[in-house]
Structure 1
Amino acid sequence: MKTGMISFAHMHAHTYADFLSQRSDVELTAIWDDDVARGKEMAQRYNCQYYSALEQFLQTDISSVIICSENAKHRDHVIASAKAKKHILCEKPIATEIEDAKDMIKACQEENVILQVAYPVRFAPAMVRAKEMIQAGTIGEVVAINGTNHGQMPGGWFVKKELSGGGCAVDHIVHVMDLIRWIVKDEVKSVYAELDTRFYDIDVEDCGIVTLELTSGVIVTIDPSWSRPKTFSTWGDVTMTITGTKGTLSVDAFKQHALYYNDRENRVQQLPWAENMDQQLIDDFVQCVLEGRAPSISGEDGLRTLEVVKAAYRSNLLKKPVLLHDPR
């Protein structure tokens, strides 16, 4: 299978390209980037061809593309790729505007190509195990969820609203929100958010707290803040504490174990793992293309999380909770 990369603007592009290069059944043959110097450097690194024109890139015999351009450019790149009959893995968030996301999904449906959104944390073994336990009723009925996706301030285009769509909210709410929808199989009813800029002299928000009510009545809080200093031992975290009527499950995607506080057996259990979630994301996308099956993480999944982000911004502006599909 031949594949190509559209832009190395997002730091995840390097990891994805590395894992593509490690597969014997995939050949990374083409790179397009509107940053010519960066594109040529990456083409040399991965021993493939750089194209300065997107149209020429899309006319090659690649069957799929991975899009890691700035958030605001996703729409145009996805639609152009779909029209060229290329299967697509798009970096999160799917887009910066809801209508753009809908246009992207429609284009891929019309051209019968895969649109998968990059939510690799779904593949973290701890999160997979958590989903299994929740769906099995191990901790009873879910009552509340506290999620975090703290991180370091990424700088660059991430703090330019015209390219990113916002700050930490658009960058980090989506990961936790996708996990919640996937694990508990529920949707958001209302959103209340308080967002601010406290840590850095930037034009977008760098901290906040988002409170959600799911349709089932479950209460959720998400902290998406860019609150980790440069000296922090890792870039950030993705954690969830899921409280049920029979126990509480504490999950950390980036540590070597999850902790299950088992009320029935009156003990704490460790759930170990040791796999790379980005590699599993790439492997899953490749298998979807090779097998012709539907993506594990769809464009609709990307749209649903973006709707929560946009509702959070609206709530912060109005200073009150808003219904997710409130037309205001």
Structure 2
Amino acid sequence: MKKILGIGVIGMGMMGQIHAAEYAANPQCRLQALVDTSPAVLSESCRRYDVPGYTDHRELLARKDVQAVSICTPDDQHRQVVLDALTAGKHVLLEKPIATTMEDADAIVAAAAHTPVKLMMGHTLRFSPRYKKAKELIQDGAIGEVQSLFARRTNIISVPHRLAGRVSLLAFLGVHDLDIMRWMAESEVVKVYCEVKKGLLAAQGYDVEDVVFTTLRFASGAIGCGEFGWILPVNHPSGHDFRLDITGTHGALTIDEAHDGFSVAGVERYIQPPVQARTAPVVAAFLECILLDKKPPVTAEDGREALRIAIAAQKSAAIGLPVDLVR
């Protein structure tokens, strides 16, 4: 008989709603219950998915018909919810970033290492068909050895307004591409330098960065640059500007999400694969690693490393000097 996993979603903000919708549509699982600290949000979410809800996550974790949970709470609240879930024997899909401090990240990594259940990070770019195809091409040698990487992730100004200053630009947006550049380069970051521009959002009451430029030196010798921002006008044509350029020894590839583009140029190669959503594959991969007892494709250690690079970039911006990442 085919096993159907019972799922709970903790935190019913924007990402929690997306996770719940994906679980509700996936035949390998059954959405059993939801959690949110807002009674109004919880009531509407439970009505939408026709499941019970709780304002205390521990009540959901006590349910025997829930084997796994997505944790989509505010980033600075991840630690205790994750530890409680792992202690309760629940598999965990954790939204990025893993945490907002290294202390919390280390605690999550340590707990995940001492439990038989799975913890997978929701670094969604790794599951995007375009980014997955780029990784496959790099591994196949289509562009040769990676020499340089450039990532841009800039969003419209309504995003930091929605977040109301509760998380930094690097922790919220930057970790996407810090993780992806590390994944694509197949090398660890050994040095970080960062310059920050602040003022626009600070004047609106949010003590966060407007724009950040971060350079990375990899152990392989490759270099990377990340441009992160969230002050694009709300009437921006695509609502965002996300891009990744990678140059190798004999080829290059570009992912241009603002214009639904992906191209690879090599000696005799040019492709443009189709575009698909990426949240559904994250949920599918999480369920697969539980049902088939596989290692999560994005581990707690991966999440910790992305945060470590982001925090090093914040330190570099604060002191005006490069920061060495010793392991």
- Are the equivalent residues in 2 in contact too, given 1:176–1:238 (CA < 8 A)? no
Q: Which of 28, 32, 35 is the equivalent residue of 2:31?
A: 28
- Are the equivalent residues in 2 in contact too, given 1:197–1:206 (CA < 8 A)? yes
Q: Give the distance between the partners of 1:228 and 1:270, measured in 2 at CA.
A: 30
Q: Give the distance between the partners of 1:54 and 1:248, measured in 2 at CA.
A: 46
Q: Which of 96, 100, 105 is the equivalent residue of 2:104?
A: 100
1:237/1:283 CA distance change after superposition, 3 Å: farther
1:87 corresponds to: 91
Q: Give the distance between the partners of 1:55 and 1:151, measured in 2 at CA.
A: 35
* Other structure's SS at 2:240 match: coil
* Other structure's SS at 1:226 match: strand
1:236/1:176 CA distance change after superposition, 3 Å: same
2:40 corresponds to: 37
* Other structure's SS at 2:154 match: coil
Mapping for residues 12-27 of structure 1, pairs under 5 Å: 12-27=15-30
Q: Which runs of 5+ in 1 are unaligned?
A: none
Please give the per-residue CA displacement for 1:156-201, whole angstroms capped at 9, x wherever unaligned: 562334xx2x2x1111111111112222211101000011224432
Q: CA deviation at 1:75?
A: 0.6
Q: Give the distance between the partners of 1:99 and 1:6, measured in 2 at CA.
A: 22
Q: CA deviation at 1:291?
A: 1.6
1:137/1:270 CA distance change after superposition, 3 Å: closer
Matched, 1:160 2:174: no
2:293 corresponds to: 292
1:6 corresponds to: 10
Q: Give the distance between the partners of 2:198 and 2:49, measured in 1 at CA.
A: 39
Q: Which of 190, 203, 209 is the equivalent residue of 1:205?
A: 209
1:52 corresponds to: 55
2:179 corresponds to: 178
Q: Give the distance between the partners of 1:74 and 1:18, measured in 2 at CA.
A: 21
Q: Give the distance between the partners of 2:145 and 2:165, measured in 1 at CA.
A: 41
Mapping for residues 240-251 of structure 1, pairs under 5 Å: 240-251=244-255
Q: Which runs of 5+ in 2 are unaligned?
A: none
* Other structure's SS at 2:296 match: coil
1:91/1:235 CA distance change after superposition, 3 Å: farther
* Root-mean-square deviation (Å): 1.7
Q: Give the distance between the partners of 1:321 and 1:254, measured in 2 at CA.
A: 31
TM-score (norm 1): 0.92
1:233 corresponds to: 237
Q: CA deviation at 1:304?
A: 0.5
Q: CA deviation at 1:324?
A: 1.8
1:301 corresponds to: 302
Please give the per-residue CA displacement for 1:102-126, whole angstroms capped at 9, x wherever unaligned: 1112212222221111111111222
- Are the equivalent residues in 2 in contact too, given 1:135–1:184 (CA < 8 A)? no
2:150 corresponds to: 146
* Other structure's SS at 1:94 match: coil
1:211/1:57 CA distance change after superposition, 3 Å: same
Please give the per-residue CA displacement for 1:35-60, whole angstroms capped at 9, x wherever unaligned: 22211211111110011222211101
1:318 corresponds to: 319
Q: Give the distance between the partners of 1:159 and 1:126, measured in 2 at CA.
A: 31
TM-score (norm 2): 0.92
Q: Give the distance between the partners of 1:158 and 1:174, measured in 2 at CA.
A: 16
Q: CA deviation at 1:94?
A: 0.3
Q: Give the distance between the partners of 2:29 and 2:257, measured in 1 at CA.
A: 28
Please give the per-residue CA displacement for 1:38-93, whole angstroms capped at 9, x wherever unaligned: 11211111110011222211101200110111110001110111111110011100
